[in-house]
Amino acid sequence: MLSSQIIESVLSREQALGRVYVAFSGGVDSHVLLHLCAGTPALTGKITAVYVHHGLQAVAEAWPAHCQRIAEALAVEFVLLRVNATADSGQSPEEAARNARYTAFKGLLKAGDVLLVAQHREDQLETVLLQLFRGSGLAGLSGMPERMPFGEGKLLRPLLNIPKQAINEYAQAEQLHWVEDPSNQSSDFDRNFLRNQVLPLLKQRWPAVDKTVSRSAGLCAEAQTLVNGVAEQLFGSAFDQTDRTLIITKLNQQASIHQRLIIRQWFSRLGLKMPAQAAVERILSEVVGAKEQGDPVLLTQGYEFRRYRDKLYALPKMTIDASEPKTWPTSEGSIVLGNGQSLAWVEAKTGISLEWLQTAKVEVKFRNGGEKISLPGRTGRHTLKKLFQEAGITPWERTQMPLIYINGVLAAVGEHWISSQFYTDKSAVCVRLCWQR
């Protein structure tokens, strides 16, 4: 039978253990987990039960109060978090609820804290089968790990190798009272369809299927660890840390299978979800394989994948309304451009005289084409197009580059150049532009 020893065993590997948060939905699995934690003497005074209210079912309005009563009866703290679990376009309701829930949990954890969730061996079976049906590789077929970094702390699954039957038997023996989510009976969702329609048939034929599939998931996870080691070495040979790009000539030196590994490792480094095989192939064929003078763009996961010269870029999709100039009040030290971007004046030894700037009309504009500027220490006037090419500034940065006009005259180009007409090293206080993006 289950005992608090399983909690002690999982937590014994954690050094400098802080707060222990338990994801508590009120269902039987999380109630058993919370009950086990509350029965662990070493955790006295350290446990917080956390209920996340999604607001998706009218029947669920009574569940927070139920969970709070249970937490009080077990002498543990209780926290109620309300989230917006509305699904975005192309997102399943299950994914939207999970993402909202996990984002809320992450906001609680500090260094040393852990979040315990009650997923068990049958949950692992469902996860692996769903990944298999989606055509996943080793990473997906590895299922859920027992422990993983999570926010500033860690997420632990103490019951991951425990069968559902053992959890139910514990709940009955301890006379626990839990809520039943009626949505679990609907087979409209993929996981519920597996649980309600498919797994009962599989278990009739293979009673230990949850145990054997869990073992296979562990073997896939071991193999994935080896692959990750190889992928990291390959990735390091093509990755430019300074701008988080891939060097195309280095990438092209690798065999096709290694190129795909490098692309996936890049997604991981960027904090993106693992790409589908079709997305990887399109990046390699349509972007990497494009002619150098071309400007192909592939959009996935809200990022634009583009190439310029010998670099492959992954850029958050950015758009700034460049149709109208923006007046920059001289009393303001900064101005918001939109899309998370802003400009600010910062003090410098050389630049534009702050005293002179405060009496001028300052505007922020964007390129229309044909702009020219004179530069300190250089003769003549130079087109921005030529300056951008000399500096290796990418085509997409050029269209978003803020141009500062003072009294109707081009005075500065982003952080890169100041017109010789406005540049000085004689003023008591000089400023330069800082472009936050």
Banded pLDDT at 417 (limits 50, 70, 90): very high
Do both 289 and 396 map to the same domain?
no
**Do both 185 and 36 map to the same domain?**
yes
Q: Is the pLDDT of residue 315 over 80?
A: yes
231 part of a folded domain: no
Domain boundary among 316, 345, 360: 316
Percent of the chain, pLDDT > 90?
A: 69
185 and 255 in a common domain: no
Q: Are residues 411 and 308 in the same domain?
A: no
107, 160: one domain: yes
Residue 333 domain boundaries:
326-436
CATH code of the domain containing 308: 1.20.59.20
Is 90 exceeded by the pLDDT of residue 248? yes
- CB atoms inside a 10 Å sphere around CB 178: 17
Average pLDDT over residues 404-408: 93
- Flag whether pLDDT at 390 surpasses 80: yes
Q: Specify if 294 maps to a domain.
A: yes
Q: Residue 220 domain-assigned?
A: no
Among candidate residues 286, 316, 346, the one where a domain is terminated: 316
What is the tens place of the pLDDT at every residue in 117-146? 999 999 999 999 999 999 998 999 999 999
Task: Please check whether residues 136 and 68 belong to one and the same domain.
Answer: yes
- 235 belongs to a structural domain: no
81 in the same domain as 198: yes
Reading the block at residue 263, the tokens are 């692309």
SS3 readout for the chain: CCCCHHHHHHHCCCCCCCCEEEECCCCHHHHHHHHHHHCCHHHCCCEEEEEEECCCCHHHHHHHHHHHHHHHHCCCEEEEEECCCCCCCCCCHHHHHHHHHHHHHHCCCCCCCEEECCCCHHHHHHHHHHHHHCCCCHHHHCCCCCEEEECCEEEECCCCCCCHHHHHHHHHHCCCCCCCCHHHHCCCCHHHHHHHHHHHHHHHHCCCHHHHHHHHHHHHHHHHHHHHHHHHHHHHHHEECCCCEEEHHHHHCCCHHHHHHHHHHHHHHCCCCCCCHHHHHHHHHHHHCCCCCCCCEEEECCEEEEEECCEEEEEECCCCCCCCCEECCCCCCEEEEECCEEEEEEEECCEEEHHHHCCCCEEEECCCCCCEEECCCCCCEEEHHHHHHHHCCCHHHHHHCCEEEECCEEEEECCCEECCCCEECCCCCEEEEEEEC
Task: Kindly report the average pLDDT of the chain as a whole number.
Answer: 91
Mean pLDDT throughout 157-184?
94
| Total number of domains in the chain | 3
In a domain, 282, yes or no: yes
pTM as predicted? 0.76
Partner residues linked to 6 by β-bridges: none
CA 436 remoteness from chain centre:
21
Query: 181 with 78, same domain?
Result: yes
pLDDT of residue 338: 77
Same domain flag for 45 and 157: yes
| Whether residue 261 is found in the same domain as residue 406 | no
Which position has the token pair 């009218």? 58
Query: Exposed, middle or buried: residue 319 (CB in 10 Å: 0-12, 13-18, 19+)?
Result: exposed
* Domain-embedded: residue 51: yes
What percentage of the chain exceeds 70 in pLDDT?
98
154 & 202 share domain: yes
- Chain CA centroid to CA 430, Å: 39
The pLDDT value recorded for residue 322 is: 61
Question: Has residue 289 got a pLDDT over 70?
Answer: yes
Predicted pLDDT at 358: 84
For residue 171, pLDDT over 90 is answered with yes
The answer as to whether 126 is a domain residue is: yes
Which is higher by pLDDT, 20 or 353? 20
Residue 232 lies in a domain: no
- Can you give the CATH number for the domain in which 186 is found? 3.40.50.620
pLDDT over 90 at 429, yes or no: no
Q: Assess whether 310 and 343 both reside in one domain.
A: no
Last residue of a domain, one of 253, 286, 316: 316
